């Protein structure tokens, strides 16, 4: 199978790594890719936001499948163009991608499909926003309606900060925001592979969005993740499929815009039950780095099956746990410093049960340098979360990048919880 994968971040390196382990894969093209994906296939130049250009390359290269990594090409209609060219594509069309492209659209679909989510108000003026903030009270949740590159959501108890974010979003052309009731409880990311009709959940993961230990600092794209979730209810995935993913997939099919691709259900397990925080229409980053490291079902075959409407009934998983720790550039997330040399990757890769995923890296005069806010991640696999995180952190200890930072508490609480449970069983 020949595959064209679109994207260049850590998620795409993790996807490329899993695709290249599938014996059915014969050739992998990545557009534009990064220095690490170049070792797994061929990086090619292509404007991935141009639907016709992507379809033309897919045809010229006679690929069997296109896998779209990020959300922006999906919202731009890349999957529609590839499908119209008669090529299988893993990723929803532009209409279905509005589940991520517009928070207001996602709320409308959830309401029609009876999916549990926070109460919300769609606002187009500052007066409406102020009224909605007062109606729901603190903590305030203000979401830019459209795609905002991970900077669209502000959660704060400071009303002035909430209002300032609302004002900034509303100042954009056709600016619209969604203000919601705050959802308490732990958050979970559950990725569902969908073929337009059927839904197959991957194993749940949790990510860490704040920049610093103890959930301090600004929101980021994600500073780490782990999977599985030993503390989560055993029937969580089943409940999410029944109450969230399948109703949404049914509603999208009913509208004539079937959802084919990855439905990322961002959930809060609140004291009042499970609620949807957000949908994304692509794999999450960095959760994918942990989830795909544990998937035993060959990924190329799985994504192709979804793309042609023949999703299998079940998946195979490793019994091991996976922990991902992200290394961010100095100044990230506010103003990351780029272009600094990165060393120690070979030593990190030699740590047993660990590997490195590139996100924002580039080659400059033959030297690996930082080229993005989230630079790379280490992924550790182990018999439990504690063993996996020990490997991820050991690998991270070898990597040097001036001024960089990473959290030291990724999955720490859950590792302690697991250790306590083991003590109880043996004691
Ligand atoms: N980890 C959050 C996201 O991928 O949007």
Look up the pTM and report it: 0.96
Query: What atom of ligand 1 comes closest to residue 282's alpha carbon?
Result: 4
CA–centroid distance, 389 to ligand 1, in Å, is 20
Which fold, 2-94?
Rossmann fold (3.40.50)
Each residue's pLDDT, cut to its tens digit, for the chain (427 residues) gives: 999 999 999 999 999 999 999 999 999 999 999 999 999 999 999 999 999 999 999 999 999 999 999 999 999 999 999 999 999 999 999 999 999 999 999 999 999 999 999 999 999 999 999 999 999 999 999 999 999 887 889 999 999 999 999 999 999 999 999 999 999 999 999 999 999 999 999 999 999 999 999 999 998 999 999 999 999 999 999 999 999 999 999 999 999 999 999 999 999 999 999 999 999 999 999 999 999 999 999 999 999 999 999 999 999 999 999 999 999 999 999 999 999 999 999 999 999 999 999 999 999 999 999 999 999 999 999 999 999 999 999 999 999 999 999 999 999 999 888 888 777 766 5
Which residues are 143's β-sheet partners? 153, 178
What is the architecture, at CATH level 2, of domain 187-418?
2-Layer Sandwich (3.30)
The phi-psi region of residue 62 (left if phi > 0; otherwise alpha if psi is between -120 and 50; otherwise beta) is left
Which residues are 225's β-sheet partners? 207, 324
Q: Where are the domains of the chain?
A: 2-94, 121-180, 187-418
Q: From the options 3.30.70.260, 3.30.450.70, 3.30.1490.20, 2.40.170.20, give the CATH code of 121-180.
A: 3.30.1490.20
Helix, strand, coil shares, percent, the chain, to 5: 35, 30, 40
Q: Pocket of ligand 1, candidates 220, 221, 291, 374: which has the most ligand atoms within 8 Å of its Cβ, to mutate?
A: 221
Nearest CA to ligand 1 atom 3: 284
Residues 3-41: tens digit of each pLDDT: 999 999 999 999 999 999 999 999 999 999 999 999 999
Please check whether the two domains, 2-94 and 187-418, share a CATH topology: no
- For 23, 26, 120, 136, 144, the CA distances from 103, given in Å and listed in that order, are 39, 39, 10, 18, 8
| 88-90/367-370 β-pairing | unpaired
């Amino acid at each position: 199978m020949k595959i064209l994968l679109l994207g260049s971040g850590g998620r795409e390196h993790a996807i490329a790594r899993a695709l290249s382990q599938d014996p059915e894969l014969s050739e992998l093209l990545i557009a534009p890719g990064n220095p690490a994906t170049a070792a797994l296939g061929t990086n090619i130049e292509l404007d991935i936001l141009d639907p016709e250009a992507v379809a033309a390359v897919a045809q010229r290269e006679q690929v069997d499948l296109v896998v779209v990594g990020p959300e922006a090409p999906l919202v731009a209609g890349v999957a529609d163009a590839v499908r119209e060219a008669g090529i299988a594509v893993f990723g929803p069309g532009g209409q279905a991608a509005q589940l991520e492209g517009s928070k207001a659209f996602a709320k409308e679909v959830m309401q029609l499909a009876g999916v549990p989510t926070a109460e919300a108000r769609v606002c187009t003026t500052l007066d409406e926003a102020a009224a909605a903030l007062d109606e729901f009270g603190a903590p305030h949740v203000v979401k830019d309606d459209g795609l905002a590159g991970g900077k669209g959501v502000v959660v704060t108890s400071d009303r002035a900060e909430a209002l300032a974010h609302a004002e900034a979003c509303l100042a954009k052309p056709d600016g619209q925001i969604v203000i919601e009731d705050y959802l308490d409880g732990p958050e979970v990311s559950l990725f569902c592979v969908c073929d337009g009709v059927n839904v197959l959940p991957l194993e749940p993961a949790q990510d860490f969005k704040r920049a610093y230990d103890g959930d301090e600092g600004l929101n980021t794209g994600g500073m780490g993740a782990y999977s599985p979730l030993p503390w989560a209810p055993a029937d969580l995935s089943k409940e999410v499929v029944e109450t969230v993913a399948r109703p949404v997939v049914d509603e999208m099919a009913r509208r004539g815009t079937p959802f084919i691709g990855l439905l990322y259900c961002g959930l809060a397990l609140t004291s009042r039950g499970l609620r949807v925080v957000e949908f994304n229409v692509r794999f999450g980053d960095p959760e994918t780095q942990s989830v795909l490291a544990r998937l035993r079902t060959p990924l190329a075959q799985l994504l192709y099956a979804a793309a042609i409407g023949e999703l299998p009934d079940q998946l195979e998983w490793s019994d091991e746990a996976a922990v991902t720790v992200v290394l961010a550039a100095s100044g990230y997330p506010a103003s990351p410093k780029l272009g600094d040399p990165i060393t120690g990757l070979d030593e990190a890769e030699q740590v047993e049960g660990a590997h490195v995923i590139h996100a924002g890296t580039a080659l400059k005069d033959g030297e690996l340098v930082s080229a993005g806010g989230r630079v790379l991640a280490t992924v550790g696999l182990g018999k439990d979360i504690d063993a996996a995180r020990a490997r991820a952190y050991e690998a991270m200890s070898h990597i040097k990048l001036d001024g960089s930072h990473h959290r030291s508490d990724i999955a720490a609480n859950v590792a302690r919880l697991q250790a306590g449970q083991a003590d109880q069983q043996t004691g």
